[in-house]
Structure 1
């Protein structure tokens, strides 16, 4: 940490504040927590301050989950005020999603960095294809499935979201549109799912990263008061103010867009994420 110049600190601080604003906007527009923006930015930050590759990705993911707690809450409130959130689905998913998140947090303690990137590529890629090229005939059903299947989907969304550092928006949007739900309702409901994922996810990464921090006593970025386990308090403090400020703006923009424009925008967004991590894996 001592090797960083004052110019680098100022530049990184400005970049984190700017990324926080974009994160909040994306949370509102797409019903996502913005983890797809947060994780790559934090990855470069932690690389610059010397965080080892073995713990860099989980530190990024855990910090992302902590950052999107206030963003998801603010976005959920804005969407719910417009009456677009399906509370029945959120209640059905509450327990299996949280269990999935906790399991994902345990996996994160032992997973290789490539696993996190691979999850990004697969999930974001499939979602982008569905939104950009999918047809109304691409459906798994005309209505949401029964309790058993809903629980299975909820658990899977929780596991994958905790490994990606996201609020579950990509996954739940994909799932709900495959069962005929309108994209606007899917986006609004996903914002509520972000609350269910981010809070237990952040706590799980604090628990998972605590003993790992002890294994790297010379890495200041992993030690308290700069971090709690796999949650960087520095990243949290710099991201939250602007992300919370812009989340309601994104929600208003989402409801102003047509169904197709929202689908195309979200699809392009996810495709760029997928390509970014695919290049990283190949490289």
Structure 2
């Protein structure tokens, strides 16, 4: 408990950063929250077999709240593509189940490695897309290939503790999907992914010993209570900053930072 109290300022700062980046660059808070929580739990001498799934489950729990607000806002503006959403939702949920079940059989070191690789891929995409629009087709593929994409989306997002937007927005834009439409539609999938995934991480971590105080399975509620208000409060400020700052340069700088964090998680 004393260690958690000492780390509260770090949690507050991480929530602020996650919120600002979400509004400023449109990236999901999970790519900031997961590595931050992982390092906090490791500092608390929690075994890596617990630290990584605990970071992932806690990250997903924060996405539940933030995605509800985000999806509601996008729905009011009519930005969500409900036709695509209805087509993808069953496969995304199936992917979530596969992802959370798989995480039970993947040790913490491998989860850390996979998350590091994800950060490297995201950072490369952010840098390349800052200079050139990546498009491989003028329209979405057929329903069968879309079902595969949706299943993989749910699987990787739930396994690694990120919302749908981090993976879904780049994927949709590859097929000439309007960026604002992609961001709006991805908001509903943050909710679709995070709710069953959070419940699953609570269940699979239910009988795990040596969890930090105020944890239910692989969700730590102290971190949740601190992170959620910060991300919610500072996201609108990030949106405002996006209209005042050079977002392209910030995006590249953040991509370099992600690459460094990703390399550390892969190599160390």
TM-score range, shorter chain: 0.7 to 0.9
User: Does structure 1 retain, via aligned residues, the 8 Å contact 2:80–2:184?
Assistant: yes
How far apart in 1 are the matches of 2:248 and 2:172?
13
User: Does structure 2 retain, via aligned residues, the 8 Å contact 1:59–1:230?
Assistant: yes
How far apart in 2 are the matches of 1:142 and 1:15?
44
Q: 1:46 aligns with which of 41, 45, 50?
A: 41
How far apart in 2 are the matches of 1:257 and 1:120?
32
Structure-1-length-normalised TM-score: 0.83
1:158 aligns with 2:146: no
User: Does structure 2 retain, via aligned residues, the 8 Å contact 1:30–1:266?
Assistant: yes
Q: 1:20 aligns with which of 15, 32, 36?
A: 15
5+ residue gaps, structure 1, are none
Instruction: Provide the residue aligned with 1:241 in structure 2.
Output: 229
Instruction: Provide the residue aligned with 1:179 in structure 2.
Output: 175
User: Does structure 2 retain, via aligned residues, the 8 Å contact 1:96–1:155?
Assistant: yes
5+ residue gaps, structure 2, are none
CA 1:51–1:127 in structure 2 vs 1: closer, same or farther (change >3 Å)? Answer: closer
How far apart in 1 are the matches of 2:48 and 2:111?
12
How far apart in 1 are the matches of 2:84 and 2:39?
36
SS of the equivalent of 1:118 reads helix
Deviations along 1:192-250, one digit per CA (max 9) or x if unpaired, are: 22111111110111111113x1xx2xx251x6xx1111111111111112222233444
How far apart in 2 are the matches of 1:70 and 1:139?
32
User: Does structure 1 retain, via aligned residues, the 8 Å contact 2:113–2:265?
Assistant: no
User: Does structure 2 retain, via aligned residues, the 8 Å contact 1:32–1:190?
Assistant: no
Instruction: Provide the residue aligned with 1:117 in structure 2.
Output: 112
User: Does structure 1 retain, via aligned residues, the 8 Å contact 2:173–2:179?
Assistant: yes
How far apart in 2 are the matches of 1:89 and 1:253?
31
1:277 aligns with 2:265: no
How far apart in 1 are the matches of 2:234 and 2:198?
22
How far apart in 1 are the matches of 2:54 and 2:109?
14
1:145 aligns with 2:141: yes
Root-mean-square deviation over aligned CA pairs: 2.5
